[in-house]
Amino acid sequence: MGIIKPDIKFKRELGRLSGSQLNQCMQCGNCSAVCSLAPAERPFPGKEMVWSGWGLKEKLIGNVDIWLCHQCGDCSSYCPRDVKPADVISAIRHQTYLHYARPRFLGKLVSSPAWLPVAIAIPVVVIMAILSLAGTFKIPEGPVDYSAFFPHGLLNSTFSAITLFFYLLASFGIVRFWKDMKRLTPPGEAGMKKFPIARVLGEILSHSNFSGCGSQQLRKIAHMSLFFGFGLLILVTLYAIWATITHNYPLPFTNPFKIAGNVASLMIYSGLGIMVFQRLMNRSVFGKSSYSDWLLLAAIGLLTLSGTLVELARFGNWSVAYHLYFFHLVAVWFVIMYLPFTKMGHIFYRTTALLYARSIGRK
Binding site residues, another protein, CB under 8 A? 26-35, 38-43, 46-47, 78-82
- Kindly state the smallest distance separating residue 171's Cβ from another protein, in Å: 34
Least separation, in Å, of the C-beta of 51 and another protein?
Answer: 13
CA 331 centroid distance within chain: 14
Q: How far is the CB of 26 from another protein (least distance, A)?
A: 7
Q: CA-CA distance, 221 to 218, in Å (whole number)?
A: 5
Residue closer to another protein by CB (options 101, 213) is 213
Smaller CB separation from another protein, 21 or 112: 21
Task: Please compute, for residue 120, the number of CA atoms within 13 A of its CA located in the half-sphere on the CB side.
Answer: 11
* Nearest-approach distance from CB 38 to another protein, in angstroms: 5
b/e burial code for range 315-349 (CB count within 10 A of at least 16 → b):
eeeeeebbebbbbbbbbbbbbbbbbbbbbbbbebb
- Give the span between the Cα atoms of 11 and 18, in whole angstroms: 11
In angstroms, what is the minimal distance from the CB of 52 to another protein?
16
- Nearest CB to another protein, comparing residues 26 and 139: 26
- Beta carbon nearer to another protein, 24 or 206: 24
Least Å distance between CB 319 and another protein?
A: 57
Q: How far apart are CA 66 and CA 178, in angstroms?
A: 14
| Beta carbon nearer to another protein, 81 or 182 | 81
Q: Which one, 66 or 303, has the nearer CB to another protein?
A: 66
Q: Which is nearer to another protein, 56 or 272 (CB)?
A: 56
- Given a contact cutoff of 8 angstroms between Cβ atoms, the answer to whether 199 and 358 are in contact is yes
Q: Give the Cα separation of 156 and 350 in Å (integer).
A: 28
Nearest 10 degrees: Cα torsion 360, 88, 294, 122: -70
| Of residues 39, 40, 34, the one with CA closest to residue 75 | 34
In the complex, least distance from residue 27 CB atom to another protein, rounded to whole angstroms: 7
DSSP 226-272: HHHHHHHHHHHHHHHHHHHHHS--SPPTTSHHHHHHHHHHHHHHHHH
